[in-house]
Amino acid sequence: MSKQRRIILILIGFSLLAAVRYFEDVLFYDPFIAFFKRDYLQLDTPVYSKKELLIHITWRFFLNMLISLGILYVAFFKKQYIKLSLLLYASAYLILIGLYTYLITFPDKENYLKLFYTRRFLIQPIFLLILLPAFYYQFKVKEGLEIGST
């Protein structure tokens, strides 16, 4: 695939991630969006359906994950990068959704900041921002070793 086509596909991927963020109010049930936009430290947690909230948080996580994996694959064409990313995403999801479930089940003003950041890791493509430069560095190091060894 040509470099220009890869760049266009990566830009489309980032545009899709931006669209998920832009249309979050329409696509996902999440009463915490409005809650965290206000002075949430002074408020009680909003009324919500725990089951529906967890389903929508999970859906958003997997949607962001699929788009992110597509970006990583187009950027590097390395299946081992995708396998490692899937393992990291799965591990992070299990840990974060467990913590998030606990924090929404037992809301406490002392834990609002923990809830905020746990939710942030679940609904934003933060792992892409970590994996993309890490894989780029790894890619360049291996490329340099192969060129230098000839």
Which distant-in-sequence residues (6+ apart) come within 8 Å of 147 by Cβ? none
Radius of gyration for the alpha carbons in the chain, expressed in angstroms and rounded: 18
Q: What is the pTM of this model?
A: 0.87
Q: Provide the domain limits for residue 103.
A: 3-148
Count up the domains in the chain and report the number. Answer: 1
Mean pLDDT by 10 residues, the chain (150 residues): 94 97 91 74 74 94 97 94 96 97 89 89 95 92 64
- Nearest of 8, 14, 15, 48 to residue 31 by alpha carbon: 48
